[in-house]
A and B are shown apart, each in its own frame.
Chain A
């Protein structure tokens, strides 16, 4: 702030907002840099992970009892299918190349002869 009496309330409000943001950032980052904050944050993350692990174990048992795959198993199968599709695409490209298809795109290629424009002195 300049120290003069503000005559424009809108400009004053915007300046105050900027000041508040700076203060909140400085104060907040100062606090969050502390080891106490890191400890509390990771304590909360650990609790989330513990709950997730417990939930996953429980669901896996329930699904196994009904002879159903778990989410992880479905995701793994989906991942393997995707990997097979990726490999098939690779084989397809290799076959196209072996079959004589041009490696470079069929689209018209630009001329690669551009030089820098003359700079104004």
Chain B
């Protein structure tokens, strides 16, 4: 590095240090960005279940509506962060009619909700409402993470149903490959019955701690990076959005948590066979609609080994797996998603949404 370069570098760092001081103060004094603000209407609200319809942003839309199914652990606004960084807004502008099945924290009296309630009640009610609202008999189902698992279970039971296309984002099927969660859910030490009987619903702080422990160095390094980048409005806004979303976790309904722990984490039934919903066997090979699975190369929550078998298990003739750079969250939201996933998704959906 020449002397001139060194001086320029020093000037830049000095400038950033000044900006850090000025903007650091406004960081603590300013409110967090408003998230999930795309105009929408609440079509259905029943306990933990919310179904929204986003107001179209185009005069002409594709015939087939699109239903997003959010993971039950987190809020759906990951799909609708801020204008310009909202998958929902992107899809609306691209001409899709977008609905979202999102979740409220389950109430104390909803501790008895089971997997059956999600797969055979909430998802079908949302699908009926989409059909009633649009007048269209078919739709595209898009599930994220465990929302993908719910979508798969529903689709496997309704292979001749109205689902035109099925899209999963980073959806686990081989739960043995989720090594960290497996270690923590070790049945020799983890008494899930006692936890559910004691707490009712699985507390969100417990889930938050588990997700946080997957990357033990991330919080400290993230805070240092925030300080280092306080001069950058773009970085700070992005940090605040993702930090708020990650901390905004939902409790899980007690019986649902007990069931998923035993059937999926302990017995790995979705992958090894024997999975049933309300006594009805689940065979992913019966899924026949066009299928897209998008996974992240560096996913620390759903490792590649947990999601990779899905494409081979689904019976569809028209099926595709896309591996994109990024992590579990940056796959669907943020600057990487804007460049990678969103255009890819639009490209795949266009011809299949007529």
Residues in A whose Cβ lies below 8 Å from that of B189 = 35, 38-39, 41-43
Q: Which chain A residues lie closer than 8 Å to B354 at the CB level?
A: 115-116
A104 near B133 (CB under 8 angstroms)? yes
Q: Does A3 contact B (CB under 8 A)?
A: no
Query: Would you call B221 and A20 a contact (CB within 8 A)?
Result: yes
Which residue numbers of A lie inside 8 Å of B, CB to CB?
7-8, 10, 13-14, 17-18, 20-25, 28-29, 32-35, 37-39, 41-43, 45-46, 49, 52-53, 72, 75-76, 78-80, 82-83, 86, 89-90, 103-105, 107, 109-117
For A42, give its contact among B46, B190, B214 (CB under 8 Å): B190
Binds A, one of B72-80, B106-114, B154-162: B106-114
Q: How far is the CA of A115 from the CA of B61 in the complex (A)?
A: 8
Using a CB-CB cutoff of 8 Å, which residues 105-160 of chain B contact chain A?
107-110, 132-136
B interface residues (Cβ-Cβ under 8 A, vs A) = 1, 6, 9, 13, 41, 45-47, 53, 55-56, 58-63, 95, 97, 107-110, 132-136, 179-180, 183-184, 186, 188-191, 194-195, 198-199, 206, 213-218, 220-221, 224-225, 228, 350-351, 354
B194 touches A112 (CB 8 A): no
Q: Which residues of B contact A107 (CB under 8 A)?
A: 55
CB pair A113–B63 under 8 Å, yes or no, is yes
> Could you write out 19 A-B pairs with CB less than 8 Å apart?
A7-B6, A10-B13, A17-B221, A21-B218, A23-B217, A24-B217, A33-B180, A34-B183, A38-B190, A42-B190, A72-B108, A79-B108, A80-B109, A90-B46, A103-B132, A110-B61, A111-B60, A114-B60, A115-B354
Chain B positions within 8 Å of A29 at CB level = 180, 214-216
Given contacts A32-B216, A38-B190, A112-B60, 15 further A-B pairs with CB under 8 A are A24-B221, A25-B215, A32-B180, A38-B189, A43-B189, A46-B194, A75-B107, A75-B108, A80-B109, A82-B109, A86-B45, A104-B135, A111-B60, A114-B62, A114-B95
Closest CB in chain A relative to B101 CB, distance in Å: 16
Known: A10-B13, A38-B190. A24 touches B220 (CB 8 A): yes
Q: In the complex the two chains form, what is the Cα distance from A52 to B203 in whole Å? A: 13
The 5 closest A-B pairs by CB, nearest first: A24-B217, A79-B109, A28-B216, A116-B350, A21-B221
| In the bound complex, CA of A11 to CA of B221 (Å) | 15
CB of B53 to closest CB in A, whole Å: 8
Evaluate contact between A112 and B63: CB separation under 8 angstroms: yes
Partner of A79, one of B59, B61, B107, B183: B107
Contact B41 A53 (CB under 8 A): no
CB atoms of A8 and B47 under 8 A apart? no
Contacting residues, chain A, for B95 (C-beta < 8 A): 114
Contact of A25 among B1, B9, B217, B351 (CB under 8 A): B217
Report the separation of the CA atoms of residues A115 and B354 in the bound assembly, to the nearest whole angstrom.
7
- Give the interface centre of A21, A78, A79 by most chain B CB atoms within 10 Å: A21
> How many Å lie between the Cα of A32 and that of B189 in the bound state?
14
Bound together, the chains give a CA A70 to CA B97 distance in angstroms of 46
Given A29-B214, A112-B61, does the pair A7, B1 have CB atoms closer than 8 Å?
A: yes
Cβ contact of B110, chosen from A21, A24, A79, A105, cutoff 8 A: A79
A49, closest chain B residue (CB): B198
Assess the A10–B194 pair: CB atoms within 8 A.
no
What is the CB-to-nearest-CB distance from B72 to chain A, in angstroms, rounded to a whole number? 18
**Which residues of chain B have C-beta atoms less than 8 A from A80's C-beta?**
109
- Beyond A45-B195, A86-B46, A111-B60, whether A75 also contacts B109 by CB under 8 A is yes
